[in-house]
């Protein structure tokens, strides 16, 4: 697992997938984010979602997340009748700045 991020709340992020066999990039069938587990340990609604092919064997899914905390993306694809699976953790952090009043 490589881990993605960190990201800031409201960022549009890409969940990537690159599939290789013997060091060569290969195409797979049905690449998708099968589940997206939120910081509250719940499944985000609307999954599975199909990933977009950027080039042969390289895919991504763009998502926008507002809840801060640790997420887990479970990614699946099919190859020769077998299901391949990858698990990618990532973190969404609070924005760096926030409104404040400074008293002298």
Is pLDDT of 100 > 70? no
Q: pTM above the 0.85 mark?
A: no
Torsion, Cα 47 48 49 54, to 10 degrees, reads 140
Per-domain residue ranges of the chain: 4-93
Q: What is the mean pLDDT of the chain?
A: 86
Query: Can you give the pLDDT at residue 104?
Result: 47
Contact yes or no for 75/33 (Cβ under 8 A): yes
Superfamily of domain 4-93: Immunoglobulins (2.60.40.10)
């Amino acid at each position: 697992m490589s881990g993605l991020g960190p990201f800031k709340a409201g960022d549009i992020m890409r969940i990537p997938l690159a599939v290789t066999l013997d060091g060569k990039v290969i195409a797979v069938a049905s690449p998708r984010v099968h589940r997206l587990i939120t910081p509250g340990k719940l499944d985000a609604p609307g999954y599975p979602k199909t990933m977009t092919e950027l080039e042969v064997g390289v895919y991504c899914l763009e998502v926008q997340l507002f809840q801060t905390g640790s997420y887990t993306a479970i990614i699946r694809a099919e190859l020769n009748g077998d299901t391949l699976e990858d698990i990618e953790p990532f973190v969404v952090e609070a924005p760096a700045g926030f409104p404040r009043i400074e008293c002298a």
